[in-house]
């Protein structure tokens, strides 16, 4: 099987396609409202009633469980609300200071290739981090984007310490994607201690601010949009904001 690092990551749409709607949600968005909106929007995209969309949000502190989540990885179940996400993956944390990008794209108009789509999402994150001179790396045995930490003690087997800076969890329904990515800008990293993030206990979690970079959410959003367009094609802020129920 071809390694993800060797997969072509271009996911440009068919010629003549409308730009992807690029929406930045103010404030904190409740997770149940986000799920309901994504479900409805994905169905509208599939039926042709709505266009593709990237929705940038922040959530209040919470944990989500993917379809592969193991109950033993939920270390502190009473710390924050826990939601079944329906996406791939295991447990993850969302909260203030973390940018979540929900990616609702019609892969029938792009490429019907799940592994390549995951690789494309990783490439999007890697290119975004590069705008801040951060070297994000993918790993074949674990999804997400990682940074090597030479300032930390090596692992017992001698390999360098690594921290996760961004997570990926997606779902496809009739080739329309939803859920997406999460990049740690300045969340409370202590909040990750209530779970085994993504089922990986050998490595830690970091953020751009933890890496010593005074990056704001607005800075990240600009870099995200530029990198997205390189991989997925044009994106535009809609003239009229779509109606969304948010808490």
Of 35, 103, 198, 211, catalytic: 198
Contact in structure between 149 and 206 (CB atoms under 8 Å): yes
Instruction: Output the known binding site.
Output: 87-94, 167-169, 180-182
Q: What are 32's two structure tokens?
A: 């149940």
Yes or no: say if 80 and 191 are a contact pair by the CB < 8 Å rule. yes
Q: Indicate if 198 belongs to the active site.
A: yes
145 touches 123 (CB < 8 A) = no
C-alpha to C-alpha distance for 62 and 60, rounded to whole angstroms: 6
Residues 6+ apart with CB under 8 A from 115: 4, 7
Task: Please say whether the beta carbons of 206 and 189 come within 8 A.
Answer: yes
Q: Are 185 and 215 in contact (CB under 8 A)?
A: yes
The structure tokens listed for 156 are: 């017992």
Which segments are annotated as binding site for substrate? Answer: 87-94, 167-169, 180-182
Measured CA to CA, the distance from residue 200 to residue 207 in angstroms comes to 17
Most distant CA atoms of the chain, gap in Å? 54
Containing 115, the helix (H) or strand (E) segment is helix 114-130
Closest CA to 89 of 40, 144, 162: 144
Residues recognised as catalytic: 198
């Amino acid at each position: 099987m071809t390694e993800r690092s060797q997969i072509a990551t271009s996911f440009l749409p068919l010629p003549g396609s409308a730009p992807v709607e690029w929406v930045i949600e103010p404030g904190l968005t409740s997770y149940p409202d986000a799920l309901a909106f994504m479900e409805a929007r994905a169905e509208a995209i599939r039926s042709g009633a709505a266009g593709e969309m990237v929705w940038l949000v922040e959530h209040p502190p919470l944990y989500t469980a993917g379809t592969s989540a193991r109950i033993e990885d939920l270390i502190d179940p009473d710390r924050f609300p826990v939601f079944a996400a329906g996406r791939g993956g295991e447990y993850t944390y969302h909260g203030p200071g973390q940018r979540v990008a929900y990616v609702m794209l019609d892969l029938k108009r792009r490429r019907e290739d799940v592994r390549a789509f995951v690789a494309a999402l990783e490439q999007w994150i890697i290119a975004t981090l590069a705008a801040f001179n951060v070297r994000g790396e993918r790993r074949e045995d674990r999804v997400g984007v990682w940074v090597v930490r030479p300032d930390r003690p090596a692992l017992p087997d001698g390999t360098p310490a690594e921290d996760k800076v961004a997570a990926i969890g997606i779902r496809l329904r009739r080739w329309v994607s939803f859920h997406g990515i999460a990049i740690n800008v300045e969340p409370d990293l202590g909040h990750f201690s209530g779970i085994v993030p993504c089922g990986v206990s050998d490595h830690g979690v970091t953020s751009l601010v933890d890496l010593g970079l005074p990056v704001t959410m607005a800075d990240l959003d600009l870099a995200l949009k530029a990198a997205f367009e390189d991989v997925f094609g044009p994106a535009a802020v809609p003239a009229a904001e779509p109606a969304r129920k948010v808490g």
